C-alpha cells in the first residue's frame, strides 16, 4: 500500500490506516464465524463430519458447503446506478437494495435440497463472498485459513461434541456464535478431554 501508485496518485496516511482497519475487521470476524458456524454444522451432522474425517481431500468442497450452509455474512447492500427491474420489481436509480445472502444460498432453484449439509456438492454458485467488482478481497485467504483450521481440528481431535447448545450473536449482518463450548478428545490420549 505504501508503494501503490495509480496514475501518479498515492495513498495518504489516512487512507492506508483506514484500509488496514477495514482489512482487520473484514478479515477477522468473518473467518472466525465461518469456523464457528462450520464446526457447529459438522457436529450437528455427524455423518458428514465422519465423511470428511475419512476423506480429507474433500476439504475444499467442504469449505464451500459450510460457506453456503451457514453464511458468515447474511446481508449485503447495493445502490442502483440506473433504473432496473429485478424479479418483476422496479428499482429506481439511487434506491438502496438489501440482498439476503443467506436466503440466496438456500435457494431451491439453485441448490438441490438446500437445507441439507452435503460436503460433496463440489463447485458452487453460493454468494457468500458477494459478487462483481466488490467480491471479497480476502476470499482466497479465508478459504485457506478455514481449510487449515478444519483439517487440523479433525486431525487433532477424534471426538468433538457440544457441552451445551451454542448461542448465536445478536447481529443482523454477521452471523456467528456468542458462545460455543465444545468438549474435545485429543489423539492418543483416550479419556483426556
- Output the smallest distance, CB 72 to ligand HEM, in A: 4
User: Quick one: which H or E segment has residue 99?
Assistant: strand 96-100
141 counts as binding ligand HEM under rule CB under 6 A: yes
132 counts as binding ligand HEM under rule CB under 6 A: yes
Q: Residues in the chain, how many? A: 193
79 vs 187, beta carbon nearer ligand HEM: 79
- Output the smallest distance, CB 175 to ligand HEM, in A: 9
Cα-based torsion angle of the residue sequence 129, 133, 137, 143 in order, rounded to the nearest 10 degrees: 40
Between residue 92 and residue 111, which ones bind ligand HEM under the rule CB under 6 A? none
Question: Contact region for ligand HEM (CB under 6 A) — 83-91, 134-142, 153-161, 184-192?
Answer: 134-142
- Output the smallest distance, CB 150 to ligand HEM, in A: 12
Q: CA-CA distance, 81 to 58, in Å (whole number)?
A: 41
47 vs 96, beta carbon nearer ligand HEM: 96
Cα-based distances in Å from 191 to 49, 53, 188: 21, 20, 9
119 vs 142, beta carbon nearer ligand HEM: 142
Between residue 161 and residue 190, which ones bind ligand HEM under the rule CB under 6 A? none
136 counts as binding ligand HEM under rule CB under 6 A: yes
Q: Are 126 and 105 in contact (CB under 8 A)?
A: yes
Q: Which letter, b or e, does each residue of 93-131 get, where b requires 16 or more Cβ atoms within 10 Å of its Cβ?
A: eeeeeeeebbebbbeeeebeeeeebbbebeeeebbbbee
Between residue 13 and residue 52, which ones bind ligand HEM under the rule CB under 6 A? 22-23, 26-27, 30-31, 34
Q: Angle between the 13-44 and 139-156 helix axes, to the nearest 10 degrees?
A: 40
Question: Contact region for ligand HEM (CB under 6 A) — 9-17, 45-53, 69-77, 114-122?
Answer: 69-77
Q: Are 154 and 49 in contact (CB under 8 A)?
A: yes
111 vs 129, beta carbon nearer ligand HEM: 129
Residues that bind ligand HEM (CB under 6 A): 22-23, 26-27, 30-31, 34, 72-73, 76, 128-132, 134-138, 141-142
Amino acid at each position: 500500500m505504501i508503494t501503490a501508485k495509480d496514475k501518479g496518485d498515492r495513498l495518504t496516511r489516512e487512507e492506508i490506516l483506514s484500509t488496514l482497519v477495514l482489512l482487520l475487521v473484514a478479515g477477522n470476524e468473518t473467518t472466525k464465524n465461518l469456523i464457528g458456524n462450520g464446526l457447529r454444522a459438522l457436529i450437528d451432522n455427524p455423518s458428514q463430519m465422519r465423511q470428511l474425517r475419512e476423506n480429507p481431500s474433500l476439504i475444499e468442497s467442504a469449505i464451500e458447503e459450510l460457506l453456503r450452509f451457514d453464511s458468515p455474512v447474511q446481508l449485503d447492500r447495493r445502490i442502483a446506478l440506473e433504473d432496473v427491474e429485478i424479479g418483476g420489481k422496479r428499482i429506481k436509480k439511487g434506491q438502496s437494495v438489501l440482498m439476503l445472502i443467506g436466503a440466496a444460498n438456500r435457494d431451491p432453484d439453485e441448490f438441490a435440497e438446500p437445507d441439507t449439509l452435503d460436503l460433496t456438492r463440489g463447485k458452487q454458485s453460493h454468494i457468500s463472498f458477494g459478487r462483481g467488482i466488490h467480491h471479497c478481497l480476502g476470499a482466497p485467504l479465508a478459504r485457506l485459513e478455514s481449510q487449515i483450521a478444519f483439517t487440523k481440528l479433525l486431525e487433532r481431535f477424534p471426538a468433538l461434541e457440544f457441552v451445551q447448545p451454542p448461542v448465536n450473536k445478536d447481529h443482523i449482518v454477521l452471523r456467528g456464535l456468542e458462545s460455543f463450548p465444545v468438549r474435545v478428545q485429543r489423539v492418543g490420549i483416550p479419556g483426556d478431554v
